[in-house]
Amino acid sequence: MDEKNLPKNLLAASRYFADPDVSVEFVAAMRWPDGVTCPHCEGKRISYLKTRRIWKCMAKECHKQFSVKTFSVFEDSPIR
């Protein structure tokens, strides 16, 4: 995440985060600075399902799907 390219005001932020892929990438980088980790089993072997903007845990005993909102205060919000 390049901080010098981040929006400086509300209008710029509205435009910047209008792209859902940019939003997911931004939140994922903040939530998992060392790489995406499964919130269910803390596994590091994950696969990204781009068409749905979610991850799938590849751990043998887990295989759960999750998003950047899973187990967060935004989990039940309509924000995508």
Domain span including residue 40? 3-66
| Backbone φ and ψ of 31, nearest 5° | -75, -40
Residue 9 is assigned to a structural domain of this protein: yes
Q: Can you give the pLDDT of all 80 residues of the chain as single tens digits?
A: 566 778 999 999 999 999 999 999 999 999 999 999 999 999 999 999 999 999 999 999 999 999 999 999 988 887 76
- The predicted pLDDT at position 6 comes to 86
- The predicted pLDDT at position 62 comes to 96
Please give, one letter per residue, the 3-state secondary structure of 29-41. HHHCCCCCCCCCC
Q: Quickly count: other Cβ atoms within 10 Å of residue 67's Cβ.
A: 19
Q: What's the CA gap between 55 and 11, in Å, rounded? A: 30
- The predicted pLDDT at position 48 comes to 97
- The predicted pLDDT at position 74 comes to 86
Residue 80 is assigned to a structural domain of this protein: no
Number of domains in the chain: 1
SS3 content of the chain, % helix, strand, coil (to 5): 30, 10, 60
